[in-house]
Amino acid sequence: MEPVDTMWLNMDRPNNLMVIDGVFWFDEMLDFERLGPLLQRRILDKYPVFSQRPVAPSIPFGPSHWEDDPDFDLSRHLKRATLRAPGDEQALQRFVESRMSVPFDHDHPMWEVTLIDGYGSGCALLSRFHHCLADGMALAQVVLSLTDGSATADLGEPEAQESSVHHQGGLMGAARSLLDTGAQTVRGGLHAISQLPAELANPSLAKDVLELGWRTGRIADKLLLGQTPPSLFSGEPGIEKRAVWSGPRAVTDVKRVSRPTGATINDVLLAAVSGAINTYARDHGADPVDLITMVPVNVRDFSRPLPRELGNKFALVYLKLPTGVSQPMQRVAECKSRMDSIKASPEALLTFGLNSLIGRIEPHVANSITNFFSDKTIGVTTNVVGPQEERFIAGVPIAGVVSWVPGSGRQTLGVCIFSFAGVVRVGFKVDAATIPDAEKLVHAFDEDMDELLRIAALAR
């Protein structure tokens, strides 16, 4: 097990589990008997970690490792349940919430998939994966490998495609360019340092060293000294979580806002999320302030097939959301400016190295360090861009998908922006004690998007 995967394994808390949850839903029934062979061929046979369990080190400060589960039984991980009447969206929400706080047994592989009958005229499919298995982008690609482009596709190997998950235009769209920028900065600076004795008078090398030191110093200040201010979202999280999501929003509608402003689709959606938090604060009698969230940035090369061992290849960077800004279009401009700054920074490269280092430290000390960094933020905000065409699982068309990100330490609000088949939905995972009326966040998000579209239409 890689050190960074060990870090995620050890970050579990009863009140904040390191589990990535996601739901597909369908207007027709799935054949449960077809799901087992599908999981076996497309996931278990390809990625051994899904039939392995984590093993703690046998010596102090030794590495954790994976071993095959001698009692592996697919039926322990592929389950079936039925929603309570009336089988509507609220019933599905309650079912998801009931599973969110259930920890995995470390004696067996740390994942489960549940077919949920009784959702309207169809069903739903809930997936739960522990973060130690892989990062969210890799897991999204793994889960989407269960899908096909037609109802009559062979259920053996998935249809050949460049990638199930795309990375342009969102938080993860900056991944490779951000990593390359950071790597070039670090490599250039280190090369400059190595040449100092012989090239001390070279102005360009001196500039490289000074720039690296300045940028690294600013990042260190941001990581060590940055702190989100007290707000309605502050507090010690409880065990119970709320899982809510927005209605479908056409990607083409979001583009009507992004194109005139030069912003990305992701910038616009982040602005609407910020607007929802702003509205929620004001409606509860609080003064809105800018709050810090953690943004995952991929450092994996998705032009290559996923490795059999999967693992975590991403970094977390701080993003100050413009939640204290009152004007919708100003929030869009601020999101664009702040995201552009992240894309041009080596912060992701440095924090990825920090995560690897933390994974090598004694768990109690490592947990204190991860709490130190996570407690500076309200949670995690991520963006997944899935296939933009219709997809099928076991011959049944997918009607919708939403996902939720885990939190750590005292984080209380996780946001996942997920676009699929031409529409985007936003999933909010919140601490029930801190934010008991999570539906108001969803309503505020929808209102903010409507306002952005109205403003964009007037500007045409």
Tell me the whole-structure pTM to 2 decimals: 0.85
Q: Report if residue 318 sits inside a domain.
A: yes
| 120 & 260 share domain | no
| 124 & 32 share domain | yes
Q: Which of 106, 376, 420, 113 is nearest to 251 (CA)?
A: 420
Q: Report if residue 183 sits inside a domain.
A: no
| 231 & 144 share domain | no
The residue type at 362: E
364: pLDDT confidence band, cut at 50, 70 and 90? low
User: What confidence score (pLDDT) does residue 89 get?
Assistant: 97
109: pLDDT confidence band, cut at 50, 70 and 90? very high
Q: Above 90 in pLDDT, residue 372?
A: no
Are the C-beta atoms of 349 and 302 separated by less than 8 Å? no
Q: What does the alpha-carbon distance between residue 249 and residue 268 come to, in Å, rounded to a whole number?
A: 12
| 237 & 88 share domain | no
214: pLDDT confidence band, cut at 50, 70 and 90? very low
Q: Report if residue 193 sits inside a domain.
A: no
- Percent of the chain having pLDDT more than 70? 77
Domain stops at, among 148, 164, 191: 148
Q: Which domain range does residue 337 map to?
A: 172-176+227-388+402-459
Q: Which of 24, 131, 35 is nearest to 74 (CA)?
A: 35
| 121 & 248 share domain | no
| 125 & 237 share domain | no
Q: What is the pLDDT of residues 280-306, one digit of tens each?
A: 999 999 999 999 999 998 888 888 999
| 238 & 358 share domain | yes
374: pLDDT confidence band, cut at 50, 70 and 90? low
| 286 & 408 share domain | yes
Q: Above 80 in pLDDT, residue 432?
A: yes
Judge residue 386's burial from the number of C-beta atoms within 10 Å of its C-beta, 0-12 exposed, 13-18 middle, 19 or more buried. buried
Q: Above 50 in pLDDT, residue 210?
A: no
Q: Report if residue 158 sits inside a domain.
A: no
CB-CB neighbours of 152 under 10 Å? 7
Q: Report if residue 41 sits inside a domain.
A: yes
Are the C-beta atoms of 96 and 21 separated by less than 8 Å? yes
| 324 & 412 share domain | yes
Domain stops at, among 100, 132, 148: 148
| 137 & 242 share domain | no
Q: What is the pLDDT of residues 312-356, one digit of tens each?
A: 998 889 999 999 999 999 999 999 999 998 887 776 667 666 666
User: What confidence score (pLDDT) does residue 199 get?
Assistant: 38
User: What confidence score (pLDDT) does residue 51 get?
Assistant: 98
**Tally of domains in the chain:** 2
Q: Report if residue 212 sits inside a domain.
A: no
Residue 51 sits in a domain whose CATH number is 3.30.559.10
Please provide the average confidence, as pLDDT, over all residues in the chain: 85
User: What confidence score (pLDDT) does residue 302 get?
Assistant: 80
Residue 412 sits in a domain whose CATH number is 3.30.559.30
Q: Does residue 414 or residue 235 have the better pLDDT?
A: 414
Tell me which of 205-219, 318-332, 428-442 is least confident.
205-219
Mean pLDDT of 41-49: 98
| 326 & 424 share domain | yes
| 131 & 251 share domain | no
Q: What does the alpha-carbon distance between residue 236 and residue 410 come to, in Å, rounded to a whole number?
A: 6
Mean pLDDT of 11-15: 93
Q: What is the pLDDT of residues 113-129, one digit of tens each?
A: 999 999 999 999 999 99
Q: Report if residue 214 sits inside a domain.
A: no
- Percent of the chain having pLDDT more than 90? 68
Q: Above 80 in pLDDT, residue 61?
A: no
Q: Report if residue 316 sits inside a domain.
A: yes
Question: How many secondary structure helices (H) and strands (E) does the chain include?
Answer: 14, 17
187: pLDDT confidence band, cut at 50, 70 and 90? very low
User: What confidence score (pLDDT) does residue 124 get?
Assistant: 99
Q: Above 70 in pLDDT, residue 168?
A: no
Q: Above 70 in pLDDT, residue 415?
A: yes
